[in-house]
Amino acid sequence: MRLLLLIPLLFLAPLAHADLKWDKLVQEFKRVPDDKEIEAHYVFHNTGTTPVTIKSLHSSCGCTTAKLEKKTYAPGEQGDVVLHFNFGDRKGNYLKGVIVTTDDKNVEPVTLKLYVEIHDPLTVAPALVFWRKDEAPAAKTVQLTAEAAQHVKIKSVTSSNPNFTATLQTGQPGLNYTIAITPTSTAQKESADITVQTDFPADAPHTYTIFARVK
Amino acid sequence: MAGKVIFLALRTALAWTFIHAGVLKIWDFGHGQPATPDFVIAIQQYKLLPWPDLTVLLAVYLPWVEVFAGVGLFVRRVRLGAALTITALTMIFIGALASAWMRGLRIDCGCFGRDEVSTDYPTLLWRDAFILAAALFFLVRDARQGAEKDRPMFGERGRFTLP
Amino acid sequence: MIARALRQAVVLLALALLPAIVSGALQLGWKDNRPLAEGEVRAETVREWGDKVQWVDARSRDKFEAGHIKGAILLNEEEWNSLARAFINDWDPDRPVVVYCDGGSCELSHAVARRLREEFKIENVHVLKGGITAWPEK
């Protein structure tokens, strides 16, 4: 009698064979920050003889979420894991991974990889200029360079604090600019945000901020 | 006879679960480095312990308790204590999981904290419930057998015997 | 019977304590001996800098609010544009900046440190090896 009670507790060895085949495990994209997010589809097929249940989709970061319509797939059935990566304020190259595990011990966990290059069409270098107290109030320059493939025009440059002047010099229009920032005095701590208004993207033009400080 | 084989298989499965779980928390075989720092982070995500030092102590000690309890299931002299330890550990795990579930914590993610198909609490709790049932079964069985034979702790024979 | 079970459990717990102490000590030693990556700094070194350190927390807002190193400023990539100003306002060129995240395999602190160096050309930026778990005081 006690034996019968135990049977459900025994670990049953997998008898049939399960397998998941993925069309693509790695995908790469290039985007601009204003795209804000990206969605990538990872299609898979159950090429085994038994149903497979996806147990978990473990993301490497909360900015990346993974969605599945349902958890169990019959033999021959096709499924689609949708990776959604929210850029936030990121810039640069990012690799986001999602580990897919199933209920079948014969199916190894796989990592779905998403490479995203988030490149800003305009590079502002440096985004911070500062003077120490009582340092000579000489002008400091910031270079703005647009990508050759995407010209970006500077429409205006404004300083939030009249004690800092910001002068725009155009190199090649749409390609490179210089902004010279000069404090009227460095006798005490001061701060200004220099706002650079551009024309890209056309529907919601981006503004960049350069921080100017006397520390 | 069939009964003995099934009980042995079940005891082995239970022991293996804990030894395996313990070892993986001590050494990260995939990356060839200690697994303790990542286990510390995992414990912290349950938000149950107020002191960070306690978390580190637990992360170092708990895996070894799991390993010794698992091995202890095969050592007649301590198998009752091993069953008790495993029962207690499993009840604590179930409690921690249930508490995290009720507070809506998402445990799995490393960085920012949100998965779409998130921590599968029901499955984990069912798994632990089965483990608890197995542990209680051996606790009761070993206690009864022990009572029948009235074996002292450090007794005459002092050898390992398979249960 | 209960007494016997408890006695045996205590024996097991005591036996487990020995390797735990050894492995704990070894792991602390392991942490100290691992080579430093670019820009990384060990907790002992930061301790020597005393109060001058400007701590930067590279983790999510949730984790920051649940507990952070005393005096740390939140600056993560998710909210960089809105958090950068607060950091710049507080930043002092004469204080070393130490960025931290969770420890273990977390790379967020390196990403934030890199942006501070590249975008703002701030040089005195370091990453705390071992993350917040290497710094017990909060």
Flag whether the ipTM exceeds 0.95: no
Residue A154 in domain: yes
Res. A64: pLDDT tops 60: yes
Confidence category of residue B110, pLDDT binned at 50, 70, 90: very low
Residue C130, domain extent:
40-134
> Would you call C16 and B80 a contact, using CB atoms and an 8 Å cutoff?
no
Q: Interhelix angle for B52-72 vs B36-44, to 10°?
A: 110
**Whether residue C55 is found in the same domain as residue C10:** no
Residues C65 and C121 in one domain: yes
The residue segments making up the domain with residue A199 are 122-214
Average pLDDT on B86-102 reads 87
| pLDDT given at position A193 | 95
Give A198's DSSP letter: E
User: In terms of pLDDT, which residue wins out, C2 or C72?
Assistant: C72
Q: What pLDDT score does C28 carry? A: 66
Chain B interface includes C106 (CB < 8 A): yes
8 Å CB contact of C8 and B78: yes
Task: List the 27-56 stretch of A: residues with Cβ below 8 A of B.
Answer: 54-56
Q: Does residue C53 sit in the same domain as residue C17?
A: no
For A171, other C-beta atoms within 10 Å of its C-beta total 12
Note whether A21 and A111 are same-domain residues.
Answer: yes
Query: Strands A128-131 and A207-214, how do they pair?
Result: parallel
Joined tokens for residue A83:
């990776």
Over chain B, what is the mean pLDDT? 76
Nearest residue on chain C to A128, alpha-carbon basis: C120
Residue C108 has pLDDT above 50, yes or no: yes
Contact B112 A62 (CB under 8 A): yes
How far apart CA C96 and CA C92 sit, in angstroms, is 8
- The tens digit of pLDDT for each residue in B19-34 reads 988 888 887 766 667 7
Residues A80 and A173 in one domain: no
Domain interval for residue B52: 2-149
* Structural domain count of chain A: 2
Confidence of residue A16 (pLDDT cuts 50, 70, 90): low
Strand order of the sheet with strand A78-86? Answer: A20-22, A37-46, A78-86, A64-67
pTM of the model: 0.64
One domain, residues C61 and C127: yes
When pLDDT is cut at 50, 70 and 90, the band that residue B125 belongs to is: confident
C-alpha distance from C121 to closest chain A C-alpha (Å):
6
Instruction: Please state, rounded to an integer, the average pLDDT across all residues of chain A.
Output: 86
pLDDT of the residue at B161: 47
- Does the pLDDT value for residue B42 go beyond 80? no
- Alpha helices, DSSP H only, in chain C? 2-33, 43-49, 61-66, 80-90, 108-119
Q: Both C11 and C25 in a single domain? A: yes
Mean pLDDT of C21-45: 77
Domain boundary residue, one of A118, A138, A173: A118
Q: What is the CATH number of the domain that holds C84?
A: 3.40.250.10
Same domain, A73 and A136: no
CA distances from B39 to A35, A104, B60, B94 (A): 36, 25, 9, 17
pLDDT over threshold 80, residue B2: no
The 10 Å Cβ neighbour count of residue A168 is 14
State the number of CA atoms in the 13 A half-sphere of A11 facing the CB.
16
What's the total number of domains in chain C?
2
| Region of poorest pLDDT, from A32-36, B30-34, C2-6, C107-111 | B30-34
- pLDDT of A14 reads 39
Q: What is the mean pLDDT of the segment spanning C120-134? A: 89
Same domain, C128 and C104: yes
